[in-house]
Chains A and B, each alone.
Chain A
Amino acid sequence: MSKPNLQISGNLLGLVLAVLEDAPMHGYGIAREIEKRSADALSFGEGALYPALRTLEKNGHIEGVWDTSVEKGPARKVYRLTAEGTKELARVREAWYEYSRSIDKVMGGLPKAGMA
């Protein structure tokens, strides 16, 4: 069975917060982590990550620091969650579970055997 190719527009901010909850990361690392956690099912133009990062920075949910300790290549901007961001993530998670439960109720749970 081929993997579903799900669009994540509208949820990218929450996904970035969730990924940064575990460890500070740079843009490329965040994109790979989203890909890895979703087992390549979630697709998005990776350039869209940067406007999302700027929005989160502007709202005070994350902060970016230039890491100049990179031995090879130019300095990288590494992002980490702030205390405000942790609160926002909890709020986004709660909203997502609520939404997900509502969709589940309509969809009727897991696919029946033989349908996939």
Chain B
Amino acid sequence: MSNLHQLKASEAREAYLLKVTRRLQTRLSPLAAYEEVGELREHLDAMAAAYEELGMAPETAMCSAIAKFGPAEKIGGELAKVGSAPQPGIAMRATLFLGLFAGQTLFAAALIAVFDTIHTATFGGAATFDVECVIGAVIALVVSTVSWNCPRLRPLTAGFLWVGVHLTVMTYIYWWMVSVGLGSHVPFLVVAHSIMIFLLGSAGSFLAGRIRILLAWKASNTSPLAR
């Protein structure tokens, strides 16, 4: 009978610790999460043993220990926040953003190239630059709508929108260049605009990264219990 009570107490403890682990797994390394949970387990066992000495049954003692320990989700969340190292994570995110924007520049160029190839194969000549841009922008906007509706691709939506908006802007710049007699400088426009997309995107993502780093530092310097 006593063994059955012990088993139920262990089950209750592990169910509680599992809830803590779920929160930890998102932010801590498996080893760090394992160590955290091991420490909590040891604390809960010591509390339960103390309650048992007061005459409680093992199961009741463990439940009382768990109740006094506090909500598992909250503790797991706080441990995950404090335990994760913000700087490498943020640096990685900033790098990813930079890569993403560089990828978008290539994506815009690829859209134009694909359309040009199709146009040449179908009509036997290259399309004018503004037509290429408009088609590219439409494709980018359609892709952004699809990505917004697909949860896994949703984080990329802003990137596709960025490409769509800039191809549209490029169309207007092209029209202006033609109207003032600079139509022969379009290749220069394409290169300059690609560089601009990359630089603006990089600067934006760098700034976003810095802001996130500052916010993470501010959060890590605040007591988790005072928040």
Are the CB atoms of B75 and A28 closer together than 8 Å?
no
| B60 is an interface residue with CB less than 8 A from chain A | no
Which residues 12-57 of B have a CB within 8 angstroms of A?
35-36, 38-40, 42-43, 45-47
| A101 is an interface residue with CB less than 8 A from chain B | no
A47 with B40: in contact, given A13-B223, A28-B47, A58-B220 (CB under 8 Å)? Answer: yes
Chain B residues with Cβ under 8 A from A49's Cβ?
43
Closest chain B residue, CB of each to CB of A13:
B223
Are the CB atoms of B71 and A28 closer together than 8 Å?
no
Are the CB atoms of A48 and B42 closer together than 8 Å?
no
| B94 is an interface residue with CB less than 8 A from chain A | no
Nearest Cβ in chain A — how far from B114, in angstroms? 50
Q: Give which listed residue, A52, A73, A74, contacts B223 with CB less than 8 A.
A: A52
Nearest Cβ in chain B — how far from A114, in angstroms? 35
| B180 is an interface residue with CB less than 8 A from chain A | no
Which residues 55-89 of A have a CB within 8 angstroms of B?
55, 58-59, 73-74, 76-77
Are the CB atoms of B79 and A51 closer together than 8 Å?
yes
| A2 is an interface residue with CB less than 8 A from chain B | no
Are the CB atoms of B47 and A54 closer together than 8 Å?
no
Closest chain A residue, CB of each to CB of B72:
A47
| A27 is an interface residue with CB less than 8 A from chain B | yes
Chain A residues with Cβ under 8 A from B223's Cβ?
10, 12-13, 52, 55
Nearest Cβ in chain A — how far from B77, in angstroms? 9
Are the CB atoms of B43 and A9 closer together than 8 Å?
no
Are the CB atoms of A27 and B82 closer together than 8 Å?
no
State in angstroms the CA–CA spacing of A55 and B47 once bound together. Answer: 23
State in angstroms the CA–CA spacing of A47 and B40 once bound together. Answer: 8
Chain B residues with Cβ under 8 A from A27's Cβ?
39, 42-43
Nearest Cβ in chain A — how far from B79, in angstroms? 5
Chain B residues with Cβ under 8 A from A51's Cβ?
75, 78-79, 81-82, 224-225
Nearest Cβ in chain B — how far from A99, in angstroms? 14
Are the CB atoms of B224 and A55 closer together than 8 Å?
yes
Name the residue in A13, A54, A74 with the highest tally of chain B Cβ atoms < 10 Å from its Cβ.
Answer: A54
| A4 is an interface residue with CB less than 8 A from chain B | no
Nearest Cβ in chain B — how far from A68, in angstroms? 13
A45-B71, A48-B225, A74-B42 known, 16 other contacts, Cβ within 8 Å: A9-B225, A13-B225, A27-B42, A28-B43, A45-B69, A46-B43, A46-B69, A47-B40, A47-B70, A50-B36, A51-B75, A52-B223, A54-B83, A55-B82, A55-B220, A74-B38
A residues at B contact (CB < 8 Å)? 9-10, 12-13, 26-28, 31, 45-52, 54-55, 58-59, 73-74, 76-77
